[in-house]
Structure 1
Amino acid sequence: MDTTYTGDVTPGGAPDVRELPHLRITKLAVDPQMSNNCYLLTCRSTGESVLVDAADDAAALLRLCDAALEGVVTTHQHWDHHRGLAEVVAATGATTYAGAPDADAISEQTGIAVDVRLQHGDRIVVGDQSLEVLAIAGHTPGSVALLYADPDGHAHLFTGDSLFPGGVGNTFGDEQAFATLVHEVETKVFDRLPDDTWFYPGHGNDGRLGDERPHLAEWRERGW
């Protein structure tokens, strides 16, 4: 495995690339104000790829992609995660994916139809590899995370805005949404995946589940 990857990227800066045995992960930050992370996942044997969140700066995203871009997954309906979607889809013809409860809102905001409405347990094929869909409600009703179970290494989880180093995503003062999000993250992520799982959020630096696991009770108590 490539040991040079840090995941530390800044808007306007170069992408960071992680070379796994079968999958290449390219992380790019866009928009100085929101600093969204976009991830291009490429099958190393076929060259086919899927983009996670066409958040902004479609021109920069298209420079990462090529004719083998098969799909764009929007992790949730918030405006800052799909500003580049229409332009990327127009240029590539990529299939669009989103969690079913968020799909209509994404289409209304972008003018782009969601081709595949994702449910928990669905799989998205990336060349010879695949991503498992984890539906994680709370930050939005239809937020999804994507799990790549590396057959020759540890798991990799793309969490959108549902999980960050230091806590779960913002629920904007909604106590019920927060309780839902913490429960979903605990049962679908921490109860299932091991400590060496590396996760990639929608903003900021990456994390490891083992570093966050001891703080679950603290997050629940503080309410954010």
Structure 2
Amino acid sequence: MSYTGSVRPGGLYDGRDLTHIAIHKVAVDPAMSNNCYLLRCRHTGEQLLIDAAAEPERLVPWIGAGGLSTVVTTHQHWDHHRALAAVVAATGAEVIAGEPDAAAITEQTGVPVTRTVGQGDRIRLGESELEVIAVRGHTPGSICLLYDDPAGPPHLFTGDSLFPGGVGNTFGDEAAFEQLINDVEERIFQRLPDDTWFYPGHGDDSTLGRERPSLAEWRERGW
């Protein structure tokens, strides 16, 4: 069956095999319905997890005997790292986060962030790499991860910075919203093509082309 990106807590994962990496998506926690993404290099078997959000009893078996080299936490909010301590204890994975959010993540989880990253940094995944796009506003250190597939359209993991239908919540902070909508427009929409597939921290996926006509509306409404 073809990949849809539609997953629900307690349900099965959805997955797709690209030429060089495989992408698996699962939802955890019925209350928050967080998405977790397990990426695997198809040449070396190395694996990377984006957001150890919850339910380590599901995530650790899902990671499997192949182990885990890296956990990337997209931002500091509690619902995106509740399983971080258990996953790292089980796998010994390196912990990566955006520099402005790293201290808060460690304070909330007790897990040291072993590498902090910022705009333009690269994260290896076997024979491939992910580029860090810093998208400030939802939190100061929120990051997106870009896989620029040499054999197809780009793939972008957006955390809670971009969703189908709008940018992430800035909780009534007008300056934070202005920062977020500017970063999303300048660093994502002005750079990447319409066929870029993006994977958010909650809910279903979308493409930039599907969302691009709504950018001005999002800016006007202020959320």
Q: TM-score, normalised by structure 2?
A: 0.98
| Post-superposition offset of 1:119 | 1.0
Aligned to 1:211: 210
Q: What do residues 93-123 of structure 1 show as CA deviations (whole Å, max 9, x unaligned)?
A: 0000000000000000000000000111111
Aligned to 2:157: 158
Aligned to 1:139: 138
Query: How does 1:56-95 map onto structure 2 within 5 Å?
Result: 56-66=54-64, 67-95=66-94
Aligned to 1:98: 97
Matches of 2:69 and 2:120 in 1, distance apart?
20
| Post-superposition offset of 1:159 | 0.1
Matches of 1:219 and 1:166 in 2, distance apart?
8
Q: Decide which of 11, 14, 20 is 2:12's aligned counterpart.
A: 14
* Aligned-residue identity in percent: 65
Query: 1:8 is matched by which residue type in structure 2?
Result: S
| Post-superposition offset of 1:64 | 1.5
| Post-superposition offset of 1:59 | 1.4
The residue matched to 1:69 in structure 2 has which SS? coil
Aligned to 2:49: 51
Matches of 2:125 and 2:15 in 1, distance apart?
17
What are structure 2's unaligned runs of at least 5 residues?
none
Matches of 1:109 and 1:68 in 2, distance apart?
25
Matches of 1:147 and 1:49 in 2, distance apart?
16
Query: 1:58 is matched by which residue type in structure 2?
Result: P
1:29 and 2:37 are equivalent in the alignment: no
Q: TM-score, normalised by structure 1?
A: 0.98
Q: What do residues 133-182 of structure 1 show as CA deviations (whole Å, max 9, x unaligned)?
A: 00110000000000001110000000000000000000000000000000
Matches of 2:212 and 2:164 in 1, distance apart?
10
Query: 2:179 is matched by which residue type in structure 1?
Result: T
The residue matched to 2:69 in structure 1 has which SS? strand
Matches of 1:63 and 1:34 in 2, distance apart?
21
| Post-superposition offset of 1:68 | 3.2
* Alignment coverage as a number of residue pairs: 222
Matches of 1:88 and 1:69 in 2, distance apart?
9
Query: 1:128 is matched by which residue type in structure 2?
Result: E
| Post-superposition offset of 1:26 | 0.4
